[in-house]
Each structure stands twice: as C-alpha cells, then as structure tokens.
Structure 1
Amino acid sequence: MSSPEKTVVMVTGGSGLVGKAIQEVIEAEEGTLNERWVYLSSGDGDLTCPIQTSAIFDKYMPTHVIHLAAQVGGLFANMKYKVQFWRNNVIMNDNIFQECHKRNIKKLVSCLSTCIFPDKTTFPIDETMIHDGAPHFSNEGYAYAKRMVDVQNRMYRDQYGMKFTSVIPTNIFGKHDNFHLEDSHVIPGLIHRGYLCKQKGEPFQIWGTGKPLRQFIFSKDLARLMVWTLRSYDEADPIILSVGEEDEVSIADVAHTVAKALGFEGEIQFDATKADGQHKKTANNAKLRRYLPDFKFTPFEDAMKETVEWFTENYATPGRVRK
C-alpha cells in the first residue's frame, strides 16, 4: 500500500454488518499500522448522486476504498422493484468507480453476493461461473447490477490499469445484523424468533424441514479477509470468501445452535408445510485457500455465541439492534 502518512481507507456502507466488523478488526490493530479508516453511513450523502459522491471523496480524500453500500431488500421488495434495484445499484457503483478512477485510487474492493450466480448451475460454484446463465428471476435487478461490478473491474483494469476487484462472501452473520422477524436473513431471524419464544415459553418453530444446507461466514472473519483483500489481493477477478464445503451446515443444525446459544430448552418444531427453498448453494473456496491455506475461521458455535450475546445485551437498548 502507499506510504503510511498518506493512506486513507474509506468504507462505504460502514455502519452495517460488515462495516462494523471491519471497524472492530481495524481497531484491534490500533498502533500497528499507520492507516486512517473512514466509515460512511447514509447520513454522509447519497451515493446515487454524482455530486454528493464527489463531495464525499473531496471531504475524506481516500487513497483506498472498500465499497459495501448497496440497495438491498427482501424477496418481496426485489420482485416488486426490479428496476429500482437495478438502476440505484448501477448508478451507485458507477459513481464510485468514476470517482476512484478520476482520483487514481490505489485500490477499490467491492462486495458482491452469491445470489449473482446462475439459477441453473452445478455445484460447487466458483468464481469462473458468474456469467454462465441467468440469475434467479426474483432478484435479477440486484443480481445483474452486482454482476456488472465484475465486468467493470476488468474493464477499468484493462483500459486504465486500475486496481479494482471484488469479493463474493457466502451467508454472513454476526453482530449489528438486521434482526427483523420477517425481512432478515436466516440466522438473525432465527435468533430473534428464538429469543421471543424463550421469553414467552413457547415452542421454537422453524419454517421448512430444516434439511437445506448453507455455508455461513462470521462477519468478523469476513472483515479480516476483506482487509487482507485490500492489502494483498491483486487480481481483478473476484474471490469467494467462505468456509469450505466440509463446513456446510443444515438449517436444523443452525436452529439447534441458536437455541443452545440462547439457553433455550424448550421444544424445537419444524413446519414441513413451509417451503425449504433451494437445497444447497455450495461455494468452492479453493481459490481463497491457495492464497491463505492456514486461515482459521471462527468455529460456528463460538461465532453464534458471540452474536447471540451481543443481540441479547443490546435488544432493549433503543437504536442498537435493527429489528
């Protein structure tokens, strides 16, 4: 990276799940690296507006950027507002790319999602398969917008020599997540529901059979890997950041792990009348392992315990838990 006194890393979406985890990781390094880190929130400006985006870059003068900000939403929102999800994400990403190019930013790392992969595919998926077919129709606006980040990275590298790249994490969980009972992802949703069931003395009900398999990455582990990507990964092509295939867990295992972390001793019920969704979405982390063969992921139970402890400690504090 650049000379210590001139290194400023700006993180868009810095107040979210991954941004907060990056902040925690960097703060643990305090005193060892001469870098200034800036974490943006929506209050800093509208990244879909080129004027406001330029003003943010003027204010903080970053040398490196981690781009986490995006318009995201649940299944219903993605299906109803496909055009908005496409346009807002494409515009936001283009504004970031343009500012980084104009200012000769030394490194840009953008965050993608496994939902960009083809709906019809073989498993495990890897980084070469992103454009091999259409994504699922339900989130095509968001998915195609994110795919274009991969295309842009290569084009800016080829034409201008810019060091732009992207990461593809699997299912992320951890502190500062969205714990909404209906609009959250599986783990935060289960944590919130299990917490309420414990308080009310009710059975812990899980939608579906519990059989689908998923790979989950703890937000703090992802943060460590994203910082590594910024400092050391120099390919334009994306890299999947995930635990290995051997660490896939069933939704039933997740539910039991959540219950254990919550101290829930009641009955756990699976409602097989509810849809399971896709049985598996296995991702191959061989590329990551070639670079970091000795990287240690936080054991799943330990990561769940830390997440649940944060949730329960902050649940009653207004504004602390997104729910």
Structure 2
Amino acid sequence: MSEVKSVILVTGGSGLVGQAIKILVDNETQEGTGSTKNENWIFCGSKDGDLRDKAQTEALFDKYRPTHVIHLAAMVGGLYHNMNNNLSFFRENMAINENVLHASYERGVKRVVSCLSTCIFPDNTTYPIDETMVHNGPPHTSNYGYSYAKRMIDILNRGYHDQHGCMFTSVIPCNVFGPHDNYNLQASHVIPALIRRMDDAVRNGDPTFTVFGSGKPLRQFIYSLDLAKLFVWVLRNYDSVEPIILSADEEDEVTISAVAETIKKAHGYTGDIVYDTSKADGQYKKTASNKKLRSLYKDFKFTPFETAIQESVDWYKRNREMART
C-alpha cells in the first residue's frame, strides 16, 4: 500500500513568499531531496477564492482537503499605503485569518504555519526584540491596522491550541524581498519600490534618483528564497504554538541609504542619489533577535545581501513586463 501523502495548501501562493516556496519545492522534487515525495503541494492565489469570504474559504478547503496549511494570504502594502488605510488593513486581514484558521480547525488540519511581521512589535521597546515581546505595547501608529490584525493570529493560535489541541503556529520574518515581489508603487515595500524606480531612472537617463525620507532608518532584510527554506523547515520540524522569528542576523541590519546604494550598484546606475526629507521615515528601527532560530537550526546560511539584491534586480529586469506593477 502506498504511503498517504500530506496535502499542503499554501494561501497567498502567487505572492513573493509563496512563489519562493514553490521554487524550493520544485527543486526538491526534481533533485529527489527533502520530503516532497510524500507531499502534495497546492499553491492558491486570490483567483482561487476570496479568503475574506467564509463560504469561499470553506469551498477552497473542501476542494483540496489539506492536512497542512502555510498561511501567507494577507492585504499588504508599504508605509504610505498603510498610513492611509489602517481600517481596511485591520478588517480585511482579520477576516482572512479568522476564516482560514477556523476552516483549518473544522477540517482537522494537522498544522498551520501563519506569517506575521516584525512590524507587529511595540513601537516603544528595547532592542533587540524577541518572540516574548509581541504584545508588550502598541505598534507604530503608521500601520497599526495591519499590525494588530497580525498580532491576533498569535491569539487565535493559542486559543485553538488551548481549547481544541490544534498545532497552529506562526513565524515572524523581517522585511522580505526577492523574485515575484510586488512592484506596484502604491503598495510595494522599500526594496521592490527602489528596484522599479531605479530601473526607470536608468532607462530614462535621469541624472538624480530620489529616495523618500532621510535614508537613516535601519532594517533587517531576508531574501525570499532563504525565507522559503526556513518556512518549510518550520512546517516539518517546529512543534510549538509559540511564534518564532525568521530574521537575518542583527549584525546584518542596514540603513535605507545602504539599500539604495546596493540597488544602484546592481542596476549599474551612474546618477546621484538624493533624499527627500519631507517624506516620512516610518519606524526608525525594529531590530529582531534570531537567537531562537539559531538555537534550533544552527547551521543555516543566509544569502549575502549584495548577492540577493543583484539576483532580485536581475529577475525584475528579465520579468519587467510580467511583474506585479
């Protein structure tokens, strides 16, 4: 009798992290490595069902009958999109998360791994932040809607575990970038926005390139292909409802100006970078500790930042016409 395969449903599967996981799974399948021979992976996007809607969510789960779920689907956006739409970010993400987790509980899903964000941490805090500090105070005012909705996943996970014994957990990545990112300038995060705008500047021969804000805020970034490896590791190996931070090391934190200079080098842009200090910087820093990850997965190697940026720029140049813009 053949072994029963796990059915792993990835919500938000057409996005940045979902596509990175798909690349990883496809590579494992082709190379015959990992556990994919006993796994059936299904990547769903918004075209497969509106997860804000309970009936559509249930229909999706009834169609695929997953045994495991990686929950990536969310309404997401950059700093300015968040600042102008906090209520929408809260309501839509709350609906998505409630529907996915409750459908998972009702259908006996063995494990759900949901994606949070370091922006959920308190604005006024000590650094580095760690997994114990999620609920210690209000998040930054710029994106409180998204942040509180994401925090509530942790509450739901604990509730489903305490009341029903479910193994639902969450990961907290730092800022993610890579192939298949969202390059829509109204909604994108800092790296894809800079990659797209600088590509335009190169094509137009612009003598200067403007970065919004002072360039001084500090950020940790993780390459989507690295995050994919860690996500799959969590799904297969991490047995706790407590969240786990998936972040680059603290010493790899960089300023936004350093990010801009690295993207400039990757594009081969020869103009000057200037900073528009009339634009908001957002949170100055949100340094996260990956000590817990390092204690559990000691030998994980992160892709060097310059290498990951170069690969991301090259991908955008090759796929400019089909990229999400």
- In 2, Cα distance between equivalents of 1:220 and 1:97: 25
> What SS class does the counterpart of residue 97 from structure 2 fall into?
helix
What is the aligned counterpart of 2:259 among 254, 260, 281?
A: 254
> What SS class does the counterpart of residue 5 from structure 1 fall into?
coil
Deviation at 1:153, TM superposition (A): 0.9
- In 2, Cα distance between equivalents of 1:184 and 1:129: 27
Structure 1 partner of 2:12 = 13
Q: Which stretch shifts more, 229-238 or 50-59?
A: 50-59
- In 1, Cα distance between equivalents of 2:51 and 2:10: 12
Show the 5 A alignment for 1:209-228: 209-228=214-233
- In 1, Cα distance between equivalents of 2:160 and 2:243: 14
Show the 5 A alignment for 1:11-50: 11-30=10-29, 31-32=32-33, 33-34=36-37, 35-50=39-54
The alpha-carbon distance between structure 1 residues 80 and 261, as it changes in their structure 2 partners (threshold 3 A), is closer
The alpha-carbon distance between structure 1 residues 194 and 78, as it changes in their structure 2 partners (threshold 3 A), is closer
1:183 is aligned to 2:182: no
Q: What fraction of aligned residue pairs are identical, expressed as a percent?
A: 57
Structure 1 partner of 2:250 = 245
Q: Residue 81 of structure 2 contacts residue 186 of structure 2 at CA under 8 Å; is this kept in 1?
A: no
The alpha-carbon distance between structure 1 residues 102 and 168, as it changes in their structure 2 partners (threshold 3 A), is same
Q: Residue 52 of structure 2 contacts residue 92 of structure 2 at CA under 8 Å; is this kept in 1?
A: yes
Structure 2 partner of 1:95 = 99
Show the 5 A alignment for 1:149-160: 149-160=153-164
Structure 2 partner of 1:294 = 299
The alpha-carbon distance between structure 1 residues 272 and 81, as it changes in their structure 2 partners (threshold 3 A), is closer
What is the aligned counterpart of 1:55 among 56, 59, 70?
A: 59
1:161 is aligned to 2:165: yes
> What SS class does the counterpart of residue 269 from structure 1 fall into?
strand
> What SS class does the counterpart of residue 112 from structure 2 fall into?
strand
The alpha-carbon distance between structure 1 residues 308 and 255, as it changes in their structure 2 partners (threshold 3 A), is same
- In 1, Cα distance between equivalents of 2:283 and 2:144: 17
Structure 1 partner of 2:314 = 309
The alpha-carbon distance between structure 1 residues 275 and 147, as it changes in their structure 2 partners (threshold 3 A), is closer
Q: Which stretch shifts more, 197-206 or 252-261?
A: 197-206
Query: TM-score w.r.t. structure 2 length?
Result: 0.93
- In 1, Cα distance between equivalents of 2:67 and 2:314: 36
Structure 2 partner of 1:85 = 89
Q: Deviations over 1:257-303 (max 9, x none)?
A: 10111111222223344443332211111011011111000011111
Q: Deviations over 1:150-188 (max 9, x none)?
A: 011111112221110000011110011111234311111
Q: Which runs of 4+ in 1 moved over 6 A?
A: none
Deviation at 1:75, TM superposition (A): 4.1
> What SS class does the counterpart of residue 178 from structure 1 fall into?
coil
- Structure 2: any 5+ residue segments left out of the alignment? none
The alpha-carbon distance between structure 1 residues 251 and 137, as it changes in their structure 2 partners (threshold 3 A), is closer
Q: Residue 124 of structure 2 contacts residue 137 of structure 2 at CA under 8 Å; is this kept in 1?
A: yes
Structure 1 partner of 2:212 = 207
1:119 is aligned to 2:123: yes
- In 1, Cα distance between equivalents of 2:267 and 2:44: 32
- In 2, Cα distance between equivalents of 1:211 and 1:78: 20
- In 1, Cα distance between equivalents of 2:245 and 2:132: 10
The alpha-carbon distance between structure 1 residues 277 and 143, as it changes in their structure 2 partners (threshold 3 A), is closer
> What SS class does the counterpart of residue 169 from structure 2 fall into?
strand
Q: Residue 8 of structure 2 contacts residue 70 of structure 2 at CA under 8 Å; is this kept in 1?
A: yes
Q: Residue 198 of structure 1 contacts residue 264 of structure 1 at CA under 8 Å; is this kept in 2?
A: yes
Q: CA RMSD in A?
A: 1.6
Deviation at 1:85, TM superposition (A): 2.4
Show the 5 A alignment for 1:257-276: 257-276=262-281
Q: Deviations over 1:226-268 (max 9, x none)?
A: 0001000111010010001100111121111101111112222
- In 1, Cα distance between equivalents of 2:63 and 2:238: 27
- Structure 1: any 5+ residue segments left out of the alignment? none
Which amino acid letter does the alignment assign opposite residue 106 of structure 1? K
Q: Which stretch shifts more, 36-45 or 113-122?
A: 113-122
Q: Deviations over 1:174-233 (max 9, x none)?
A: 011111234311111111111111112212222333222110000000111000010001
Q: Residue 182 of structure 1 contacts residue 189 of structure 1 at CA under 8 Å; is this kept in 2?
A: no
